[in-house]
Amino acid sequence: MNAPTAPVDLPAGWTLLHLDVTDSTNAQARALALSGAPEGAVVWADVQTGGRGRSDRVWESGAGNLLFSVLVRPDCSLSAAGQISFMSAVALAEAVEALAPGLPIRCKWPNDLLGTHGKLCGILLEACCIKSGGIAGALVVGIGVNLVWRPGEGALYPASSLSREGADLSREAVLSAFLARFSAWLTVWRREGFPPLRAAWLSRARGLGEKITVRLPGETVQGVFESLDEDGALVLSGLPEGKRLIRAGDVFFG
């Protein structure tokens, strides 16, 4: 195990496990959850050999990128726990904005961040320790940030990196800034619910008020990205049947 090249600032009571190589930071964080680790356990790896994205897609990442997972214990319904995806995107956007003022960052539904040239990060939530009544006792938030390396042709969505966007940031700086904002948003979310988080996400939303294409299992639909509903579903309007709530799918612009 290598020590970070610079200190990583952690919220009070949080812990960090830094690994040279692992199969998946989410798998490591899940094991910590099952062993009873408290909220705030963070697993950071230099290299992942079995990283995954949504829908079990392979998550590729080259040297120098930031790969980590955070253990949260939300103790709420699975649908409410899904709002932590938006929390993660907003916290990371705020972290990058603080470190690279003026850099345009947009949120792409449901859980990506975009720069001018393409996708900058991916976020994967995995619930575990499910209690009776469908309560999420633990949630693992896996995040991969393209700091310097980005996938080439063949990616589902054009990829970029913070370096390509003009921001040369260290892994330690981005991780520290993210954890500070994520911890702060957890407090707000527990106290005030989804509305302030929803507003912060919508203020950075890519494609809001514009025509988009949503690829769903077995069909593709086009409509206007009107808003998010109170649970985080995408509100698609301008359809023959009127409006439709989209809870999972791949969004494309233009």
For residue 7, being part of any structural domain is answered with no
pTM, 2 dp = 0.92
- Looking at the fold, whether 56 and 34 belong to one and the same domain comes out as yes
Question: What pLDDT score does 61 carry?
Answer: 65
For residue 123, being part of any structural domain is answered with yes
Question: What pLDDT score does 5 carry?
Answer: 57
Question: What pLDDT score does 3 carry?
Answer: 47
- Looking at the fold, whether 149 and 54 belong to one and the same domain comes out as yes
Nearest to 83 by CA among 195, 183, 209, 215: 195
54: domain CATH number?
3.30.930.10
- Looking at the fold, whether 223 and 176 belong to one and the same domain comes out as no
- Looking at the fold, whether 119 and 218 belong to one and the same domain comes out as no
- Looking at the fold, whether 55 and 149 belong to one and the same domain comes out as yes
- Looking at the fold, whether 35 and 131 belong to one and the same domain comes out as yes
Tokens representing 205 are 């939303």
Q: Which residues pair with 211 in a beta bridge?
A: 224
Question: What pLDDT score does 152 carry?
Answer: 67
pLDDT in tens, the chain (254 residues): 444 556 899 999 999 999 999 999 999 999 999 999 999 999 999 998 865 545 455 556 667 899 999 999 999 999 999 999 999 999 999 999 999 999 999 999 998 999 999 999 999 999 998 888 889 999 999 999 999 998 766 567 889 999 999 999 999 999 999 999 999 999 999 999 999 999 999 999 999 999 999 999 989 999 999 999 999 999 999 999 899 999 999 999 97
- Looking at the fold, whether 105 and 170 belong to one and the same domain comes out as yes
Tally of domains in the chain = 2
Tokens representing 23 are 């199969």
How, if at all, do strands 41-48 and 15-22 pair?
Answer: parallel
Question: What pLDDT score does 51 carry?
Answer: 55
Question: What pLDDT score does 62 carry?
Answer: 67
- Looking at the fold, whether 29 and 127 belong to one and the same domain comes out as yes
Nearest to 30 by CA among 130, 158, 177, 129: 129
- Looking at the fold, whether 156 and 236 belong to one and the same domain comes out as no
- Looking at the fold, whether 116 and 189 belong to one and the same domain comes out as yes
Q: Which residues pair with 234 in a beta bridge?
A: 228, 246
Tokens representing 254 are 């233009």
- Looking at the fold, whether 188 and 232 belong to one and the same domain comes out as no
- Cβ neighbours around 144 below 10 Å, total: 23
User: Structural domain of residue 171, as residue ranges?
Assistant: 15-202
For residue 4, being part of any structural domain is answered with no
